[in-house]
Chain A
Amino acid sequence: MSDEAVLSAKGITRRYGERVAVREVSFEVRPGELVALIGPNGAGKTTLLSVLAGVQSADEGSVGGSAQGVGWVPQQPAIYTKLTVAENLALWARLERVADPRETVRRMLEQTDLADRADEQVGRLSGGNRQRVNIAVGLLSEPAALLLDEPSASLDPIQRGRLWQFIADLAAQGTSVVFSTHNVAEAERCARRVLVLHEGRLLFDDSPQALMQAAGGGAAGDKVDFEEGFVAFLQRAAGSERSAA
Chain B
Amino acid sequence: MRWLLGKDLLILRRSRVLVAVLVVYPIAIALLIGLALSRSPGKPKVAIANLAAPGAAVELGGSKIEVGRYYSQLFSEVQPIKVKTREEAVQKVHSGEALAAVVIPANIAAKLSSVLSQGQLEVIYNGDALQQSVVQSKIQAAVAQANLALSVQIRKLAAQGINLLLQGGDLSRLGIAQSHLLGLEQAPSVLREAIAHQPPGHVRQELLRVQELADFAARNLNISKDVLATVGQPVQVHSTLVHGRRTPLDTFAVVVAVSISLMFVCVLLAAGGIALEREDNTLARLTRGLVSREGLVVEKLLLAGGCSLVLAFAMLAGIGAFVTLDWSRIGLWLAALVAGALAFGALGVAIGALTREVRAASLLAFLLSLPLAFLALVPAGAVAPALYNVIRAISAVFPFKAALQALDAAVNGAEPAIGGSLVHLLALTLLFSVLARIGLRRA
Give chain B nearest CB distance to A225 CB in angstroms: 35
Q: If A80-B11, A82-B15, A87-B10 touch, does A94 touch B3 (CB 8 Å cutoff)?
A: yes
A74 touches B281 (CB 8 A): yes
Question: Closest residue of chain B to A73, judged by CB?
Answer: B285
Neighbouring B residues of A79 by C-beta, 8 Å = 280-282
A83 touches B288 (CB 8 A): no
Compute how far the CA of A96 lies from the CA of B280 in the bound complex, rounded to whole angstroms: 18
Q: If A83-B10, A91-B3 touch, does A78 touch B289 (CB 8 Å cutoff)?
A: no
A77 touches B10 (CB 8 A): no
A76 contacts chain B at the CB level, 8 A cutoff: yes
B282 touches A72 (CB 8 A): no
Using an 8 Å CB-CB cutoff, how does the interface string of A36-70 with B read, 1 for contact, 0 for none? 00000000000000100111000000000000000
Neighbouring A residues of B443 by C-beta, 8 Å = 55
Using an 8 Å CB-CB cutoff, how does the interface string of B150-164 with A read, 1 for contact, 0 for none? 000000000000000
Question: Closest residue of chain A to B281, judged by CB?
Answer: A78
A96 touches B290 (CB 8 A): yes
B289 touches A54 (CB 8 A): yes
Give chain B nearest CB distance to A180 CB in angstroms: 16
Neighbouring A residues of B15 by C-beta, 8 Å = 82
Compute how far the CA of A79 lies from the CA of B280 in the bound complex, rounded to whole angstroms: 6
Give chain A nearest CB distance to B289 CB in angstroms: 6
Interface residues on B, range: 10 to 19
Neighbouring B residues of A94 by C-beta, 8 Å = 3
Give chain A nearest CB distance to B304 CB in angstroms: 17
Q: If A78-B280, A95-B290 touch, does A83 touch B11 (CB 8 Å cutoff)?
A: yes
A82 touches B11 (CB 8 A): yes
Partner of B285, one of A78, A82, A83, A87: A78
Neighbouring A residues of B284 by C-beta, 8 Å = 50, 55, 74, 78
B281 touches A76 (CB 8 A): yes
Question: Closest residue of chain A to B285, judged by CB?
Answer: A78
Question: Closest residue of chain B to A122, judged by CB?
Answer: B280
Neighbouring A residues of B281 by C-beta, 8 Å = 74, 76-79
B3 touches A95 (CB 8 A): yes
Neighbouring A residues of B280 by C-beta, 8 Å = 78-81
Neighbouring B residues of A137 by C-beta, 8 Å = 285
Neighbouring B residues of A76 by C-beta, 8 Å = 281
B32 contacts chain A at the CB level, 8 A cutoff: no
A95 touches B291 (CB 8 A): yes
Partner of B286, one of A53, A87, A95: A95
Compute how far the CA of A83 lies from the CA of B281 in the bound complex, rounded to whole angstroms: 14
Q: If A53-B288, A95-B291 touch, does A82 touch B3 (CB 8 Å cutoff)?
A: no
B4 contacts chain A at the CB level, 8 A cutoff: yes
A80 touches B282 (CB 8 A): yes
Compute how far the CA of A53 lies from the CA of B7 in the bound complex, rounded to whole angstroms: 24
Neighbouring B residues of A87 by C-beta, 8 Å = 7, 10
Compute how far the CA of A83 lies from the CA of B9 in the bound complex, rounded to whole angstroms: 11
Neighbouring A residues of B202 by C-beta, 8 Å = none
Give chain A nearest CB distance to B321 CB in angstroms: 36
Question: Closest residue of chain B to A70, judged by CB?
Answer: B288
B14 contacts chain A at the CB level, 8 A cutoff: yes
The chain B residues found within 8 Å of chain A, CB to CB, are 3-4, 7, 10-11, 14-15, 280-282, 284-291, 443
A-B contact pairs, 18 of them (CB 8 A): A50-B284, A53-B288, A54-B288, A55-B287, A74-B285, A78-B285, A80-B280, A81-B280, A82-B11, A82-B15, A83-B11, A87-B10, A91-B4, A91-B7, A92-B285, A94-B3, A95-B286, A95-B291
The 3 nearest A-B residue pairs measured at CB: A78-B281, A78-B285, A82-B11
Taking A74-B281, A83-B11, A95-B4 as known contacts, 9 extra A-B pairs with beta carbons closer than 8 A to each other, sorted by chain A number, are A55-B285, A55-B288, A77-B281, A78-B282, A79-B280, A82-B10, A82-B11, A91-B3, A91-B7
The chain A residues found within 8 Å of chain B, CB to CB, are 50, 53-55, 72, 74, 76-83, 87, 91-92, 94-96, 121, 137
